[in-house]
Every structure is written in C-alpha cells, then in structure tokens.
Structure 1
Amino acid sequence: MTTRTDLSESPPIESRADLISVFEKGEKPRADWRIGTEHEKFVYRLADHRAPSWDEPGGIRDLLVGLTEFGWQPVEEGGKIIALTGPDGTISLEPAGQLELSGAPLRDLHESCAESGRHLEQVKAVGDRLGLGFLGLGMWPDKRREDLPLMPKGRYQIMLRHMPRVGNLGLDMMLRTCTIQTNLDYLSEADMVKKFRVALALQPVATALFANSPFTEGQPNGFLSFRSHIWEDTDPHRTGMLPFVFEDGFGYERYCDYALDVPMYFVFRDGKYIDAAGHSFRDFLEGKLAVLPGEKPTLADFTDHLSTAFPEVRLKSFLEMRGADGGRWGRICALPALWVGLLYSDKAMDAAWEVVKHWSIDERETLRHAVPELALKAPVPGGGTVRELAERVIEIAAMGLTERAELNAAGDNEGGFLDPLREVVASWQTFAEKMLAKYRGEWGGDVAHVYNDYSF
C-alpha cells in the first residue's frame, strides 16, 4: 500500500477541475511511457519460520536499516523507519511486515527485471546476515492472523479497526497476502479508457495464470487463488470489477465520481494519520468533515484517497493492474510483460479488445467469481476455458512485445519474459496446483516444505 514519502506542502483543491487534473497529468506521449513493477514478499525467520516483528533484534527495522548500506534513504513516521527511497523506487511495509518494492518508472522490461533482481540480491544479502528468508507466494500458507506482527504505520491501525465493519476477510487481505502489480501510462483520456477496459476484462486471466495461494493455516483452502477470493469479501464499496468502466461516456469524470463515493480511511496531517474511516470525501470538499471541521482537502489528500480504492484495475495518474498473486523472481518479470505486451501496442490492444468486447457485465462478474477457485479451468463467455483464453492472450502479448522491439545487449526482445506464463498454459497447471500436488505427495501433508521449495 502507498507510503507517503513527499511531505511538501500541497495546494488546496479549489474546484472539480483540480480533481480531474490528477488524471490529466498522467497523460504522456508514447515515447515517455514507462513501466512500474510492484512486488511483495513474506519475511520469515530461517530458524523457525516465524514472521518477525518490527522492533525485535534482527527484525523488520533492522532489515530496513541494513538496506541503507545499498544507498537507500530512510523514511520515518513517528520517529520509526517505515520505508526507504532510492533510485530503484520505494521499499515499504505492508501491515504484517510484508516487504514491498514499488519500482521506479522504467523504459523497458529488461530494465524492470534487472531492477527486481538488484532488489532481491540486496534483501537476501541483508537477510542472510539477520537470519531472515523471503517467500514468494500470494498468501501466508501456515500463519494465523494472531501469529502476525503489526507494523508501526498509522494508516494501518485505522484500516485494521475499520475492516471488520465492512467485510469478513479484510484483515486477511492486510495481514496474510502478497501481490505483484504493474503500473502503466496512457496517451490521453480515450487511450486510458481503452486500456482500462481491456485490462479490467482480462484481469481474471492474470489471476488464473498467477494463482499461487492454495493454503490457509497449513491446509488446502479449496481455492487456487485464495488471495483473489479475499478481495470479494473485503469491502464492497472499494473493490470489484467496476461495471461503469464499460458504459458509454466513461472517462476521468466518471472515475472521479466513483473515487468520491469510496468512503475515506484517513487524513494525513503534521506527520500523523487522523481516523476518518467511513466519512465522505465529498463532505471534506465542502469543509464538513466531522474530524476536521471547516478544513478543506489538498491535492495530496485526494491522491492519498485514490490509493484507498482497491478495484481490480485502479486509476491514479497511471493505471494499476492488481489481479495477480505474489510469486518468485521469474513471475515478477512475467506480469509486466503480459500487460505491456497487451496495452503498449495498439495492434495488440485492438486484438485483445476483440476477444472481450462482447462480454456482458454479468459474464465478466461470473468469470471474476469463478477464477479464484477454478483458475485455468473456469469457463469463459462464449465457450471454452480460461486456459484456452490465456493461450490466446499470451500470443497477443507476445505480438505486442515483438512490435515494441526493445532489445537487450544480446539482441533479445522482451518476449522471453512471458515464458513462465507459457509454461503454465502448456502444463495445464497453475503454480498453486503444482504446490498442492507436492503437498499430497512428496511433502506428506506438511506445508512447511514450502519454505525450502518456494523461497527466493
């Protein structure tokens, strides 16, 4: 989740045009389009697989301090280090100590994958010294909520109090899940709309290809992506497939209305988070926010608020693809490859839109609900399965990457980063199904083997 690193003064919101400007400022010419990759991983003690707390010796605080040896600069909240900034983006903490790299905006997938590699080398170097390991899955396979520590970030305390009021699994989302995300640019409002529609319709395909969370508290949970299922019972006001995105006239104005209708979590003032959970940003715009009577929001407040909506695709000043479980190194590179191939080539995006444009709202929702349990076996509108659809989508993405012709020093284009996804389709098995097979076979029903087999 977003960590506030810019504490400079922000201008007040004077009109609705100021809100829309946040999206308009994201417009970039094609030559300036960049790729941002975000990935989270679980941190555990090598000795006993326990999740370390922030302040224990050799815990999360010491991990962050250790990473400053590589040039990262600390970000503090209440005198405690809770994030790092540097040339490779931002390193931040999820609520139970999951470690996230929000990568810098980079020109091509070769650079993005190299960035991920640098980050993992650094955290493993510090982790080896501290006795810490890092696990690449979509959900803790064995931890109960009460087993997990809480990080000293004010916004998380507010969210932890609020989540049980609006859903049954929101605490699991915060404490027990990890994801990989991709952030992409757009040329114009019309280009944003087209990208949003293609990405939202095909997000269940990404969920299936990256399904990687089949265990809860040491037992199979009946899902292949339980992380994705969790989002279905987190908070209906800020999650889901956003049917209005496919309606005529969708654009910045309509998304702005959606964001304003999402209930607030907090307001950040003087280095502290003020609990505004459930209150209305529209009231804030009118100076009627109960917790800050008479005060009106700044653009930074609106940017913070945009980060508290959690649909399958999210608009800020770029588009975020949010449907994938966390995974290991090759899969970190594969997610941006999929979406860059589909969305950064007009030809590929047109081909992808042809596949999904006739789906109804109900058909899209049905697919979204089926995929967490069935993944590649889920039926798709018009017949066939997600596996067959994924095969076609990967072909389209490969075409888009070939068209981009972004080559590394060896002369290879970016298409090779799709190989982990090709392997999933060719084997007819998700990562989750392969883990379940091991669990029922060589692991002898003991999920603890996951730490040996699926750590970074």
Structure 2
Amino acid sequence: MSTRQDAAPSETINSRNDLVAWIAAGEKPRDAWSIGTEHEKFVFHGATRQPVAYDGETGINALMSGLMKCCGWEPIIEDGNMIALKRAIGEPGATVSLEPGGQFELSGAPLRTVHETAAETQQHLEQCHRAGGPLGLGFLGLGFAPTWTFEDMPRMPKKRYGIMTSYMPKVGTRGLDMMYRTATIQANLDFGSEADMVKKLRVALAWQPVATALFASSPFTEGKPNGFKSMRSEIWRHTDPNRTGMMPFAFEEGMGYEAFVDYALKVPMYFVYRDGHYIDVAGASFADFLAGKLVGLEGILPTLDDWSDHLTTLFPEARLKRFLEMRGADGGRVEMINALPALWSGLLYDADVLDAAWDRVKDWTADERQKLRDEVPRLALETPFRGGHVADLAREMVELAAKGLANRNFCDSSGADERQYLAPLEDIVDSRRTVADQLLEKYHGAWAGDISWVFAETAM
C-alpha cells in the first residue's frame, strides 16, 4: 500500500471537475508509456520459519537499516519510526515499503521495458539478501502466509494501518486477513487518452480472473491445504464490497473519467492526512469532504493529495489513478514477478493485440465476468466457462501477450525480446498446472504432508 511523504501542500479541490482533470493529466503519448512493477514478499526467520517483527536486532527495522547501509536507500519516517525507504534524489523513483503484517514491498520505478523492470527486481532481491542474510532472514514468494495464524502476524507502526484494522471488521469478514496474511504482484501501465483508458480498463477487468488463475499460489492456510488455489483472491471477495470487485459500471455506455470519479466519490474514506498525522474518518464520504461537510473537518476542503490518498484505498481488480493498476495476481518467485508485467504490457500496449483482446471478451455478460471472479479462486485453470475452461482462456491470453511483446520488439543485449518472461506462464498453460497445483502435488507426495518444505520451495 502507498506510503505518504510530507511535502508542500497541494492545490485545494474546488469542484468535481478538478478530480476529473487530475486523472486526465495522467494521459501520455505512446512513446512515453512505461511499466511499473510492485511485488510483496513475506519475511521469515530462516532458523524458525516464523514471521519477523518490526523491532529487535533481526527485525524489519534492522532489515531496512541494513539496506540503507549497504545499498544507499534513504529513510521515510513517520512518528519516529522508519516505515519505508526511498532512493536518493536523481535516482530511479522506486520505494520499499511495509505492508501491515511486515510484507516487504518494492514499488518499482516507471521503466520503459520488461527487461528493465526485471533487472530492477533482481537488484532489489540481491540487496534484500545482502541486508537480510546476516540477520538470518529469508523471503517467501507466495500469495498467502502458508503456516502462520492471524495472531502470529506482527504489526507495522504505520498509522493508516491502525485505522484500517479498526474499520475492516465493520465491512467484511476477511479484511484483516487481506491486510496481514496476503501478498501480491502488481503491474502498472499507462494510457494515452480517455478512450484508450476505457478500453484498457475493460480488457484488464475482463481478463483479470484469467490472470488470477495463472498466478494462483496460495493453497495453504495454517499448515494445511485450504481448498483454494488462490486463497488471496478468495479473501478479497470478503474484504469490503464497497471498494473491491469487478466494477461492472466500467462496461456500461458512458464510461470515462467522470464515471470513475463518481464511483470513487461514493467509496467510503479511511483517513485524512494533515500535519504529519492521520485523522480517522473511516466510513465518511469524499463527496461530503468536497462539499466542506466532513464531520470533524467542517469547512475544510480536500486537496489533490487527499484525492490521491483516497484513490489508493480503492481496491477493485483493476484500478484507475493516473495510470492503470492490474491487481489480481498472487505473490510469487522472481520468474512470476517478471511474468506479470510481460503479460499485461503484451496485452495492453500493442494496438492490434488490445483490439483482439477486447473482441474476445466484449460479449461476456456482467454475470459471466462475476462468475469467473467468484470461481477462479477455488478452481483456477479448471474453472468452467462457455463449454471450456479457464485453461483455454489462459492459453489465449498468453498467446496474445506474446504477439504484443513481439510487436514491441524490445530486445536485451543478447537479442532476446520480452517474450522470454512469459516462459513460466507458457509452462503453466501447457501443463495446466499452476504453482498452487504443483505445491499441492508435492505436499501430498514427496513432502508427505510436511508443510515446512514450502519454505525451501518458494523462498526467493
């Protein structure tokens, strides 16, 4: 989740039109389109396979301090606690931040090619091992904590998480599990116009359950199979219906920036950030804030930073800010981290492939899209759809992405283009076995029910 940094106050919002204009300002010409990759991983003590607390000689704070010493990161401080890291001014704009349960996240810089984002991910993981190795720490690439109970999970000293922790049980049954026991990979991509945004958002939403199936890697809960291939995705179904899901309105006539703004205005707020402090307004309306009627802050109007903050608290399967975020993938090892931006940039960044991807899904009904979303967490590639299975759609999706990447024709120093990063997905569609399927086979086979092997199998 996003980390707020203190800066000069942003402009005051005077009308709904300002909100629309803020999003529209994200439009970029095609030659400026970039790729951002974010990934979360669980940190564990190698000797005990237990999660890592914030404090202590081998805690998360010590890990971040190690990254500062070895690799030149700079701290972001909140109420005296280091809650994130940033690069020095003039260096690529990546950040390292903490999720509520100590999940360690790299929010990558916007980069031109998948080659660059893969190199960024590799460098980050090498730095994590340089800083974490002497502390005896390991890093786990899965979508859900495989052995730890909710009570086992540590708490990070980030004030917005305290507000969310209090609010989540009021609006869903699994919001706290989402916060503390899940991990994801995310790809962020640009749009060139309002029409381009609409088409990309619709394609992203419709195909997202297929991507969720491809990346399913969370079949264990508290040491046992949980009956799902993507428990992470199932948990999101029970988190908060006001701010999650498939956004069916995005497929309706008239969809555009204004329609998304109207949706976002209705989503309840979590907080307002003022003078270095988070003010709990959970459940309040941003529309009331815009009208100067927010309870406790009467007469105060929001700023553009408040609007940006609010959009980070919306969690649909694909999210619009000043770029598009694809949010439906389980966490995974490095090859899966690299595969996600390859998949989505291949699908969305070539005009012909984007058109083909839209043609394939444009006659799907809202009920069909929702049924896919509901059933994929349990069945993944074996989810039935229109006389076939999601496995068939997954093959089509990967093949379309490969065409898009071939058309982009960005090659590395060896002459290989970005299609190389789709290799793990091609293996999955050929075998019809997701990472979750592979782990379950080992659990019931070679591991003989000993879940401790999952740490060696999925460590990064």
Q: Aligned equivalents of 2:253 and 2:358: distance in 1?
A: 16
Structure-2-length-normalised TM-score: 0.98
Tell me which residue corresponds to 1:83: 84
3-state SS, counterpart of residue 20 of structure 1: helix
2:443 maps to which of 439, 442, 445: 439
8 Å contact from structure 1 (residues 139, 177) kept in 2: yes
2:43 aligns to what? Answer: 43
What pairs up with 1:65-104 in 2 under 5 angstroms? 65-69=65-69, 70-86=71-87, 87=92, 89-104=94-109
Aligned to 1:390: 394
Q: CA RMSD in A?
A: 0.8
Q: Does the 8 Å CA contact 1:45/1:133 hold for their aligned counterparts?
A: yes
Q: Is contact 2:212-2:330 (8 Å) kept?
A: yes
Q: C-alpha distance in 2, partners of 1:68/1:8?
A: 25
> Match of 2:456?
452
Q: In structure 1, what is the Cα distance between the partners aligned to 2:213 and 2:34?
A: 25
TM-score by length of 1: 0.99
Alignment match of 1:319 (pick from 301, 319, 324): 324
TM-superposition CA deviations, 1:392-443 (whole Å, max 9, x none): 1111110000000111111111001000000001111110011011111111
Aligned twin of 2:206: 201
1:184 counterpart residue number: 189
2:415 aligned residue: 411
CA 1:88–1:302: 2 relative to 1, 3 Å: closer
Once residues 190 and 52 of structure 1 are traced to their aligned partners in structure 2, the CA distance between those partners, rounded to angstroms, is 45
Quick check: 1:269 aligned with 2:274? yes
Shift >4 Å, 4+ stretches: none
- Pick from 342, 347, 352 the counterpart of residue 337 of structure 1: 342
What is the letter of the counterpart of residue 219 of structure 2? P
- Can you list the C-alpha shifts for 1:306-341, whole angstroms capped at 9, x where unaligned? 000000000000000001000000000000000000
1:109-128 superposed matches below 5 A? 109-128=114-133
Partner Cα separation in structure 2 for residue 408 and residue 88 of structure 1:
22
Q: Aligned partners of 2:143 and 2:43: how far apart in 1?
A: 13
CA distance in structure 2 between the aligned counterparts of 1:360 and 1:3, rounded to whole angstroms: 37
Aligned match for 1:366, one of 363, 371, 375: 371
Which sits farther off after the overlay, 226-235 or 11-20?
A: 11-20
Paired residues of 2:6 and 2:276 also in contact (CA < 8 A)? no
**What is the 5 A alignment of 1:260-299?**
260-299=265-304
| CA drift at 1:88 | 5.2
2:136 maps to: 131
Residue 306 of structure 2 corresponds to residue 301 of structure 1: yes
Give the superposition deviation at 1:355: 1.0
Name the residue aligned to 2:252. Answer: 247
Partner of 1:19: 19
Q: Number of residue pairs matched?
A: 455
C-alpha separation between the residues in 1 aligned to 2:214 and 2:5?
Answer: 33
Note the C-alpha offset of 1:383: 2.4
Separation in structure 2 between the aligned mates of residue 258 and residue 17 of structure 1, nearest angstrom: 14
- How far apart, CA to CA, are the structure 1 residues paired with 2:207 and 2:334? 23
Query: 2:48 is matched by which residue type in structure 1?
Result: D
Aligned equivalents of 1:57, 1:270: Cα separation in 2: 31
Distance 1:198 1:12 in 2: 34
2:4 maps to what in 1? 4
Partner of 1:147: helix, strand, or coil?
coil
Q: What fraction of aligned residue pairs are identical, expressed as a percent?
A: 58
The answer to whether the Cα contact below 8 Å between 1:88 and 1:115 also exists between their aligned partners in 2 is no
Give the match's secondary structure for 2:384.
coil
SS in 2 for 1:141: coil
Query: d(CA) in 2 for partners of 1:31 and 1:216?
Result: 44
Inter-partner Cα distance in structure 1 for 2:8 and 2:99: 24
1:58 matched residue in structure 2: 58
Cα separation, 2, equivalents of 1:291 and 1:57: 41
Confirm or deny: 8 A CA contact 1:145 1:176 kept in the other structure: yes
Structure-1 separation of matches of 2:216 and 2:450: 20
Q: Secondary structure at the match of 2:76?
A: strand
Match of 1:151 among 148, 153, 156: 156
- Secondary structure of the residue that 2:452 maps to in structure 1? helix
For residues 68 and 353 of structure 2, what CA distance do their matches in structure 1 show? 41
With 65-74 and 149-158 compared, the bigger mean Cα shift is at 65-74
Distance 2:130 2:443 in 1: 30
Inter-partner Cα distance in structure 2 for 1:291 and 1:77: 23
Offset at residue 21 of structure 1 (A):
1.6
- The one-letter amino acid paired with 1:249 is G
Deviations 1:205-251 (A, max 9, x none): 11000000001111111000010000100000000000000001100
Is 1:426 aligned to 2:437, yes or no? no
For residue 6 of structure 1, report the CA deviation from its aligned partner.
Answer: 4.8
- What is the CA distance between 1:291 and its match in structure 2? 2.6
Structure 1: gaps of 5 or more residues: none
> 2:65 & 2:11 partners in 1: Cα distance?
33
Classify the secondary structure of the residue corresponding to 2:151.
helix
Question: How much does 1:52 deviate?
Answer: 1.3
- For the residue of structure 2 that corresponds to 1:212, the secondary structure is coil
Residue 5 of structure 1 and its aligned partner are, at CA, apart by: 2.5
Give unpaired runs (5+ residues) of structure 2.
Answer: none
Aligned to 2:238: 233
Give the C-alpha shift of residue 16 in structure 1: 1.5
- Mapped contact 1:214–1:224 kept (Cα < 8 A): yes
Give the match's secondary structure for 2:13: coil
| Deviation per residue, 1:248-278 (Å, 9 max, x gap) | 1100000000100000000011111110100
C-alpha distance in 2, partners of 1:178/1:117?
18
Question: Is residue 108 from structure 1 mapped to residue 109 from structure 2 by the alignment?
Answer: no
